[in-house]
Amino acid sequence: MELLDGKRVKKEFFEKLKEEISKLDRAPGLAVIQVGNDPASEVYVRQKEKMANGLGYLFKHIKLNEDVKEEELLNIIDELNNDDNIDGFLVQMPIPKHINPYVVQNRINYLKDVDGLTDINMGALVHNKEFLVACTPQGIMDLLEYYNIDISGKNVVIVGRSDLVGKPLASLMTNSNATVSLCHSKTNNLKSFTKRADILVVAVGKPNFIKKEDVKNNAVIIDVGINRLSDGSLCGDVDFESVKEKASFITPVPGGVGQMTVMELAKNTYKAYKLLKTNVKH
């Protein structure tokens, strides 16, 4: 069993990226809009700020009250779309229920959409013409590539069909010639799928959901989940201690996919800078 060490991959990538950034005529700009005081969001925004500062990016954090009107949020998005110093930005999820996330995400200029969630970017991905791809799925692909894990022809099972992870990852895997099963809460006999996966990706937000008996020998296990237990410790959606006995490769939690997500946000910001520079159009 070998650990898929996201921390190591991110460190190496950041060293190369810093070199590229030093050649630019100005620092790329990243903005995060946060609505409300969700505790997890606070942590994620701090991570993004730390990443941006470490790379020398311009970082802008716009924090809005929980009761902000949708129109006001959309006006701020318009301002960032027109701000030449901001190359990429995102609205930190979750947002309050009175605001439509679909409307908000699609107000973002697709060339600045570092979360890869606009209809244009999601559609481009399906057609294998991606511009900016959701960070976690692209991070998984880059992690597999780093460890020379071949995807072509493999049986890939993804548990979880979110717009942020499952759906875009299914497209990326399909584009890389994998045979993909996208499972979810309505899937009958989930174990019959997970047990035949060469590569199993789990993104359901349930602590230790996948057990040793759910996976086949020598499977590659990608655990996207990060859950805080009552004792304060963190665990993934995969029961790491038991599953690692059967896996050929497995991601740790923390230190695996989460590190790759941060790396991809940095990469997307740099990519957005380049896209805006060349003003690429479909």
Task: State the average pLDDT over residues 252-277.
Answer: 96
Per-residue pLDDT, averaged over 257-275, amounts to: 97
Specify whether the CB–CB gap between 269 and 88 falls below 8 A: yes
Q: How confident is the model at residue 282 (pLDDT cuts 50, 70, 90)?
A: very low
Mean pLDDT value across residues 14-19: 97
In this prediction the pTM is: 0.95
Instruction: Name the architecture of domain 20-110.
Output: 3-Layer(aba) Sandwich (3.40)
d(CA 203, CA 165): 7
Amino acid at 270: Y
- Is the pLDDT at 281 greater than 70? The verdict is no
CATH fold label, 135-259: Rossmann fold (3.40.50)
Q: What proportion of the chain, given as a percentage, has pLDDT over 70?
A: 99
Residues annotated as catalytic are 48, 92, 115
Overall average pLDDT of the 71-100 stretch: 97
Beta strands 234-235 and 227-228 are antiparallel
| β-strand pairing of 155-159 with 88-91 | unpaired
Matching residue, tokens 């937000």: 205
Inform me whether the pLDDT recorded for 66 exceeds 70: yes
For CATH 3.40.50.720, the residue range(s) in the chain are 135-259
180-233 pLDDT, tens digit each: 999 999 999 999 999 999 999 999 999 999 999 999 999 999 999 999 899 989
Give the C-alpha distances (Å, rounded to integers) separating 125 from 33, 138, 175, 199, 212.
25, 11, 9, 21, 33
Helix, strand, or coil (residue 77): helix
* Distance in angstroms (rounded) separating the CA atoms of residues 12 and 143: 12
pLDDT tens digits along 238-247: 999 999 999 9
